[in-house]
Amino acid sequence: MSRLLEINNVEFSYNKKKKIFEDISFSIDEGDILCILGPNGAGKSTLIKCINGLLKLNKGDILFKGKNITMMDNDELAKKMGYIPQTHSSTFAFRVIDIVLLGRVPHLGLTESPGENDYKIAEKAMENLGITHLKDKLYNEISGGERQLVIMARVLTQQPEVLLLDEPTSHLDFGNQIRTLGIINKLSKNGLSVIMTSHYPDHAFISSNKVVIMNKGTLMAVGSPEDVVTEENMRNAYEIDVRIMDVEEHRKTVVPL
């Protein structure tokens, strides 16, 4: 039986000389939350873009339910995977609802524009994230945390099966970071699978059941958070000393020394 998403021995480079990453393999199943950790420049964001088909692999392949993603059109892929980039901005002062509605692009033909049903899906996504009140606000004038939620609503409006989140918590304050992770947990309970990158090993403990650690373009470790986020691995990846401690009965946390 094939997994939901399989990444097999992938390798990528912008020019042929320097490889951004190589020999990376892992897989996820329905409802999994996989957190990719690793220092700056490890190739995390590039890997996410490759999984979303935005960049073409040199070697290896990525299979969605057994089907190679290079065999899929842009819009077919966009119905399966939703992607939230690290930064997003808009040159023009779109209303929030206009941004959220763009999630319907893969479901509409080249000459179609959103109808009543598409509006309903977009409004439902905003309701689920508690941002209905932002609907007619201008996207450029809301806060960074609100913008993150708007993009999240857009990606849900896409109705994908996998979410690819590139540092969903960067630019967010402490409270919004934890709230975002809570939303991600809730989404996965509803059957969505998530792959996200993070700079905080703690986020792996809070909201993931699988962790990949990348370092210098290679796969350092893959497994459950408890097995992989270890004092030794943290030292190897980030070159700092940490202690892993229990905060509650079943939750661990990473404390820098």
- CA dist 149 and 128 (Å) reads 10
Other Cβ atoms less than 10 A from the Cβ of 75: the count is 13
Going from the C-alpha of 214 to that of each of 67, 88, 106, 140, 231, the distances in angstroms are 25, 25, 32, 34, 15
- What's the min distance (Å) between Cβ of 104 and another protein? 9
Q: Cα angle at 124 between 118 and 129, to 5 degrees?
A: 135
Going from the C-alpha of 118 to that of each of 46, 63, 74, 96, the distances in angstroms are 31, 29, 19, 15
Binding site for another protein (CB under 8 A): 49, 52-54, 73-79, 82-83, 85, 88, 90-95, 98-99, 102-103, 105-106, 108, 110-114, 136, 138, 158
- What's the min distance (Å) between Cβ of 150 and another protein? 12
- What's the min distance (Å) between Cβ of 155 and another protein? 9
- What's the min distance (Å) between Cβ of 107 and another protein? 8
- Output 40 or 111, the one with its CB closest to another protein: 111
- CA dist 211 and 26 (Å) reads 10
- Output 36 or 96, the one with its CB closest to another protein: 96
- Output 114 or 168, the one with its CB closest to another protein: 114
- Output 92 or 174, the one with its CB closest to another protein: 92
- Output 77 or 219, the one with its CB closest to another protein: 77
- What's the min distance (Å) between Cβ of 157 and another protein? 10
- What's the min distance (Å) between Cβ of 114 and another protein? 7
Query: Are the C-beta atoms of residues 4 and 28 closer than 8 Å to each other?
Result: yes
Short-list 1, 5, 12, 155, CA closest to 84: 155
- CA dist 131 and 157 (Å) reads 14
The H-assigned helical ranges of 138-195 are 144-157, 174-189
- What's the min distance (Å) between Cβ of 238 and another protein? 28
Tokens of 13: 């480079």
Q: What is the dihedral of CA 242, 45, 31, 210, to 10 degrees?
A: -30
- Output 195 or 213, the one with its CB closest to another protein: 195
- Output 43 or 106, the one with its CB closest to another protein: 106
